Amino acid sequence: MTSGGGRQGGFTLIELVIAMSLLAAMAAILTGGLSLSLRSWEAGKERMEEHHDLTEGFLMLEGQVRMARTAFWLNEKNERTPVFSGKPEEIVFAAGYPRLVPLGEAEGWYLQKIAFNPERSSIVYAESWFQPAMEPEKVRWTKTEIGKGRIKSLHLEYLVQVEPGKFAWTTSIADEKRADPARLPKSVRITAETEAEKDGFAWPPMEVEITEGATTARQENKP
């Protein structure tokens, strides 16, 4: 059977070879594009998970600092020392709700600690049961890490009252000479520098208002 121009119907061998070559090339392009898309998606997913984990960790720290409460250590002479301790890379305080240790049946305080671990490039969050008569150096902490391998530095600042109606930022509560050393700061500023992000993302400083400290400041400065 012939076509109108005298050519036999169907494809010639050369046309079949060309068509098959084109199909193979298209399949290779599609496969390569799909593989690249999958790799990009996986990389994007990993980045999202990393950001998500850090975000959850920072939000947890923010929530715990916000709940800091006034509490005291008691020594053998019944002398009181404030639990709240603020340093440039470490903060210790008491709060009423734990995140790691079991919640006790009786009401009470729980020790909380946030500190930078340069050896593991992480932020350590730790908790413990609190008893005023216990020795601070012998506290047994339950710990977890935030941002392991990704935290370059942690910088903590504290907004304290230096005189009636006047507040200033300091990097160490221990160095502050205040009339009331037991008084909690009004706010804590947490600045965590992470390893360079491929997308240029930088974590902004978090200024956390301590509920008890801020409430006291507002009450004292009412007109």
- Please report the pLDDT score of residue 109 as a whole number: 85
What pLDDT score was predicted for residue 49? 58
| Domain ranges for the chain | 49-220
**Predicted local confidence at residue 222, as pLDDT:** 53
By the 10 Å C-beta count (0-12 exposed, 13-18 middle, 19+ buried), 207 is classed as middle
The residue ranges of the chain whose pLDDT is under 50 are: 1-7, 37, 40-41, 43-45, 48, 105-106, 223
pLDDT at 44: 44
Instruction: Give the burial string for 84-112 (b: 16+ CB within 10 Å, else e).
Output: bebbeeebbbbbeebbeeeeeeeeebbbb
pLDDT at 216: 63
pTM over 0.75: no
145 has which bridge partners?
124
Q: What is the pLDDT of residue 73?
A: 92
pLDDT at position 156, please? Answer: 97
- Quote the pLDDT of residue 161: 85
In this prediction, residue 34 carries a pLDDT of 59
